[in-house]
Structure 1
Amino acid sequence: MGRAPCCEKMGLKKGPWTPEEDKVLVAHIQRHGHGNWRALPKQAGLLRCGKSCRLRWINYLRPDIKRGNFSKEEEDTIIHLHELLGNRLI
């Protein structure tokens, strides 16, 4: 009962992603979406765990990720909201 063990016990690849793995992941998500992260690596043919695929997509490969420095307007908004709300979690 319960979930299958994560990558440590299943002999899946750990560490840095290769450009080829990135291409496979992006192509699979563009074709099929990302409905089930736990099943995605096997469907895409990757030797990674679902959590690794999800984090790679969310943090690095999504096309709508904004990279680079904050604009002056964004920085002012962040400072204003921090003055207003502090470090509270919403």
Structure 2
Amino acid sequence: MGRIPCCEKENVKRGQWTPEEDNKLASYIAQHGTRNWRLIPKNAGLQRCGKSCRLRWTNYLRPDLKHGQFSEAEEHIIVKFHSVLGNRYDFFSYMVY
């Protein structure tokens, strides 16, 4: 048995997000929070899938998300870890807790 579909595929808008959609999503989340991503598009008045809203919020709209260049300190940390670990993506398994 599979999961219940997250949305009706024929009524879902795809493609780029408009500034109006971004504003609707951000204002809804500011008021109500991020409790149930399946209900957020319907309650916010968006014709999007809950997963699309979650990814848009997580990757682009969160207020604590940093955009722009790395600072000197951040760049130093990146270079240091790269010299120790190389191009490994699983560096957390090498860190000591």
TM range (shorter): 0.7 to 0.9
List gaps (5 residues or longer) in structure 1.
none
Q: Report how many residues are paired.
A: 89
Percent identity reads 55
CA-atom RMSD, angstroms?
1.6
Name the CA distance, whole Å, in 2 between partners of 1:54 and 1:75.
29
Structure label with greater radius of gyration: 2
1:35-46 superposed matches below 5 A: 35-46=35-46
Shift of 1:3: 1.0
TM-score under structure 2 length normalisation: 0.82
Name the counterpart of 1:85.
85
Shift of 1:11: 2.2
CA distances 1:40-83 after superposition (whole Å, capped 9, x unpaired): 11111110001110111011111111111111211110010122
